[in-house]
Amino acid sequence: MGFEDYPLSKVTPPVSEPPRRRPAQTSTSRWVIVGAGAVVAGVALTLWWMSRAQAPTVIPAPTSATMTEQTARRPSRQPMQLPSLVDSDAMLRELTATLSRSPLLARLVATRGIVRNAALAVLQIGDGKTPSIPLAVLRPPTRLEIAGQASGRVEAASFARWEAATQALLSIPARDAAQVYVNVKPLFDEAYRELGYPDGDFDTALTKAIRTLDATPQSPADLVLLRREGYFEHADPSLQSLLPVQKQLILLGPENRARVQAWLHQLAAALDLKVR
């Protein structure tokens, strides 16, 4: 996700009915047309009559177990031996390389403490903060620019700064990301407990983070910022009161923001997380 360009202080499917009986004349006509011959029609009528003589197949009503199988989309955890949390970086790098060849993601997982950093980033987003430290590698190399000195609208190039980070995220298929997450979730649960959440269910943090981003209002067509000493602030008072991470989400630009949130919703759907 993004980084701040301003301070962080603000913070039962139904039972199928048996086929209806059809008049012999109608069925005969149909089979004659389909078979295009008296012999074919005779065989077809015989089979049809035999099927009528049999008792209709009764489809049992679905049980709660079968309904769960039909609706559950979360992938099952695949059998694998997980390393300890402190020794998990090498495995995470290998898993990431199988999902994406993005150079930016490769740089991200080249850092130490991958699971801990990711857990911290998700937790900070859920709390409304921008994860500037755990995701420092994703920060664009260029600075934000506005068309003016004291204030002005955001230049289109400033939104384009975030295209590389957005593409890096989108390079990972959401369904594959869900499978990897389920496989290594015990590591995320452990890191989550270390951050002060003894229940250790990282699904909770992930759900909260997506909900926090979803609560961000749409930005105006012409986004105007105020230049402050060392940072920018939104000129719109309604945007000034947003959480820092929500302000930063707006600065991704409308297209990047839409793509990031769409990917997050795909991930949530694959994991059966109730984010809405």
- Give the list of residues 6+ apart from residue 229 with CB closer than 8 angstroms, or none: none
Bigger pLDDT: 29 or 225?
225
Amino acid identity, position 112: R
The token pair that represents 242 in the structure block:
């947003």
pLDDT in tens, 191-220: 999 999 998 999 999 999 999 999 999 988
Is residue 154 within 8 A of residue 251, CB to CB? The reply is yes
pLDDT at 183: 97
pLDDT at 72: 62
The C-alpha torsion from 223 through 227 and 232 to 235, rounded to 10°, is: -40
Is residue 272 within 8 A of residue 74, CB to CB? The reply is yes
Q: Which of 85, 90, 271 is nearest to 177 (CA)?
A: 271
Order the strands of the 224-228 sheet from edge to edge.
151-153, 224-228, 231-234
The token pair that represents 197 in the structure block:
């959440």
pLDDT band at 133, cuts 50/70/90? very high
Relative orientation angle of helices 202-214 and 174-194, to the nearest 10 degrees: 110
pLDDT band at 18, cuts 50/70/90? very low
d(CA 121, CA 114): 11
State mean pLDDT over 141-158. 90
pLDDT at 220: 87
pLDDT at 73: 83
Point out which residues pair with 234 in neighbouring strands.
Answer: 225
* Phi and psi, residue 234, nearest 5°: -70, 140
State mean pLDDT over 124-131. 97
Is residue 118 within 8 A of residue 134, CB to CB? The reply is yes
pLDDT in tens, 228-248: 988 899 999 999 999 999 999
pLDDT score of 2 more than 70: no
Bigger pLDDT: 140 or 43?
140
pLDDT score of 82 more than 90: yes
Angle CA 175–178–183, to nearest 5: 135
pLDDT at 81: 93
State mean pLDDT over 161-177. 95
pLDDT band at 24, cuts 50/70/90? very low
pLDDT at 83: 97
State mean pLDDT over 153-165. 92
Q: Which of 124, 116, 119 is nearest to 3 (CA)?
A: 124
Work out the number of other CB atoms within 10 angstroms of the CB of residue 191: 25
Average pLDDT over the chain reads 80
Per domain, the residue ranges of the chain are: 111-270
Sign for the pseudo-dihedral over CA of 249, 255, 256, 258: positive
pLDDT at 276: 87
pLDDT in tens, 28-67: 333 333 333 333 333 333 333 333 333 333 334 444 444 4
